[in-house]
Structure 1
């Protein structure tokens, strides 16, 4: 059953989502209260001075959000963060796994996180149907240049109300193209599955930050059962985590007994084996007739974090599966989420450390696979940046035996980013069964006696 109740996160980072507005932040008193501490009085006086006397008027919203982020920054903890109202609404859409858009996964085009390029097209969704392709770089949305906007801002512009249209101007290998797309409901998938040659099951968990994961995981496991799969690959690569109970749910689908995870708070108290984290979310596995009991391997890489590491750690410590790939990220803390802040924002606060079934802390250490192997799916990207040239000057460089000519901009700067080529896949699968070294090794391990 799907867990409910208090939300706990074990997530490395959140992807960009859509915002449609923000709630007004509350105004605080303009004069320090009589019983305020010296620190509170100082804060209020500085705030009042900036608001009333600073040469250039500053929005109250900007001041308060700056104060909030500054206070959180004092913790020096990258996993405790405040999400402003406009971004929080997008996060909630990602969490629900349902929104209105075009059905394309985007990644920043530029190294500074700006721009947007297509990395995945959801089958049957508008983006695929109109002819957009993986690798297309989005240049304009409804006539507005988005090449210098953050990915979040680009997504905000692309999403909208159901059945409304959005016009995209894209660059495809230097060729400009324009598409008009009607927005439809997109159900983002957390779990992808297929049957590989030899009746080997393949289940990829893309994210745990999606409430659809529970139903989608059930569907994937049922598919494996219906196909009488006895060998399975669980792929957790590039999965940065999400819901704590989502990670537990996935681990439990492959375990009939044994501990999955325990939490330790600021006092040092550790949860007891099997203690409930939610009404349907427990620290130990519970046997179910739907559990997958066949042979399996788990694939991880350096981007597998948080809930992904909970799953990998539980299956490794319980001797349920061989872990294959790169050493994982190493995020061994969990956040409590305050999602009903008065301004519409959200606070994710690190409140617990989590431990594997053997009591191991993996924070800043990661999980070491049983079989260490470098992820070969994507070629290494070469980036080059320089300055000091004359505006318009041609700079020749040789990379990988190929001579390139770069042109300095008006400030004398020049940059180059190698565009990674997608490897072809065999018909009937989106996976590279030969060139993906970690997947190939996983299949070899499964076929060993």
Structure 2
């Protein structure tokens, strides 16, 4: 497939799927009446309309029916996204929207949505909003229990329109009114580390500008004389498949990058590398973790297969399927699994993942202490000593007590595109730097023999496990990671 066709493949896959349906029996109002299940569906809708005690929201019922139809396939990557959510995703995909210029983080301890990063030049920065501030109200609406996605819908809007937000800072509320401004979705962060080692973190492929941003980052590294480069794909849950192909192509001179296998069992070449003057040809290490998925696995799998890079980290998520997409008449989106992707060496990664060449745990975000219990008098204050430190919890009216420590969050620079790294907490990054210096990674940085054994065996265990449903992206593309990802409004 040539370069000009790649960006159109998502649409081409959708069109192909539509032709396939036309050649099959298809679905129409008349077809529904020919089957007992179809007649039952119409019966239930009429019964609901005539007998339900309350007013029926027909749109909600129809969308629920669509969700039920796709949900019946029991496939986590086949789904329907309602119009409001699809509108947010479409803006993310375009790479620009209008908001206040912050990164949102949903706190898994249930303490609400907080500000992860405030970008310079944004409305929030000018208003004095700081990292760690917690959202309380947006335009008078209480958002203390609102999800991150729903909060984004409230904060984003038309350019120049005002939004009034009440935040809490160290327990003290304050209110500011800001005018929404253009916010660019920057998916690439760069730095040059000690020893002249280049570092590019690609945080998402779900951005039409990701390829352009990545190419600029590679050229920056070449201009600065970087001969050893770290490509960080950790927590990158994927996105546009053609963007993944484009990234891999910048490190490969020739040969297949990824093929797609559909239900007929045949594999068709999707992306192929070609030599270019802009390609980076120096030493390369790729960092991955359990949340590296889909397009991230396309890149790391291809570079590993052709021995172009050394892959360091944890076994990846194992999302090796692409979706065909239908934009629905109501402004929503239906995505169905359409094909499985295959690496240059013929590996199928779905539910298997990419096993790194060197196994090193991701130590950046340790799981905080948490516990729960019951059986004490309401209001009882408990004190536990853990590693010499006191931890306090208070029982509620039912005698239930719980404690959830603060979850660490990823530090981001206030300047978009500028990477922030922490060598002290980041064992995988230290391993990459050591590999460049010595050609190997010391045992104290690598996983233990027992951990490595579990890592190698876990791919086979995944087949019998329930896979966490992920928030899904658009046209023929990869899924976001299972961990809560920061969102920009």
Please classify the TM superposition score into its range, dividing by the shorter chain length. 0.7 to 0.9
* 1:7-22 correspondence to structure 2 within 5 Å: 7=10
* Pairs within 5 Å for 1:246-395: 246-271=243-268, 275=269, 277=270, 283-339=271-327, 341-387=328-374, 390-395=377-382
1:364 Cα deviation from its structure 2 partner: 1.0
Change (3 A) 1:188 1:269: same
Alpha-carbon distance in 2 for matches of 1:446, 1:60: 61
Query: Which residue pairs with 1:131 in the alignment?
Result: 128
RMSD of aligned residue pairs (Cα, Å) = 2.6
Cα distance, 1:146–1:389 mapped onto 2, change above 3 Å: farther
Q: CA deviation at 1:6?
A: 4.1
- CA distance, structure 2, for counterparts of residue 6 and residue 284 of structure 1: 14
Partner of 1:446: 436
Q: 2:274, 2:153 → 1: CA distance?
A: 41
Rounded Cα–Cα distance in structure 2 between residues aligned with 1:150 and 1:85: 17
Tell me if structure 2 keeps the 8 A contact 1:256–1:287: yes
**Aligned-residue offset at 1:182:** 2.4
For the structure 1 residues 33 and 196, does the alpha-carbon distance in structure 2 shift closer, same or farther, using more than 3 Å as the test? closer
List per-residue Cα deviations over 1:273-309 (Å, max 9, x = no partner): xx3x4xxxxx211111100111110000110000000
Alignment match, 1:194: 191
Contact map agreement 2:370 2:404 (CA 8 A) in 1: yes
Q: CA deviation at 1:200?
A: 1.5
Label 1:402 to 1:180 Cα distance change in 2 as closer, same or farther (>3 A).
Answer: farther
Task: Provide the TM-score with structure 2 as the length reference.
Answer: 0.79
After superposition, the Cα gap between the structure-2 partners of 1:369 and 1:188, relative to the gap in structure 1 and judged at 3 Å, is same
The aligned counterpart of 1:404 is 391
Structure-2 separation of matches of 1:374 and 1:358: 26
Alignment partners' CA distance in 2, 1:235 and 1:402: 35
| CA distance in 1 between partners of 2:413 and 2:434 (Å) | 19
Does 1:235 pair with 2:238?
no
Cα 1:143–1:393 change in 2 (3 A) is farther
Deviations 1:120-149 (A, max 9, x none): 333432333433333322222223221111
- Report whether the alignment pairs 1:207 with 2:210: no
Q: CA deviation at 1:370?
A: 0.9
Seen in structure 2, the aligned counterparts of structure 1 residues 185 and 327 have a Cα distance that, compared at 3 Å, is same
Superposition TM-score, scaled by structure 1 size: 0.86
In the other structure, the counterpart of 1:4 is: 7
Separation in 2, partners of 1:63, 1:413: 38
Separation (CA, whole Å) in 1 of partners of 2:262 and 2:341: 9
Partners of 1:8 and 1:335 within 8 A in 2: no
Q: Give me the whole-angstrom Cα distance separating, in 2, the residues matched to 1:311 and 1:135.
A: 34
Would you say how many aligned residue pairs link Structure 1 and Structure 2? 418
CA distance in 1, matches of 2:152, 2:394: 31
The corresponding residue for 1:122 is 119
C-alpha contact (below 8 Å) 2:32/2:39 kept by paired residues: no
Query: How big is the shift at 1:54?
Result: 1.8
1:417 aligns with 2:417: no
Q: Which shows bigger deviation, 229-238 or 157-166? A: 157-166
Query: 1:389: Cα distance to partner?
Result: 5.0
For 2:43, the equivalent position in structure 1 comes to 45
Contact 2:108 2:407 survives alignment (8 Å):
no
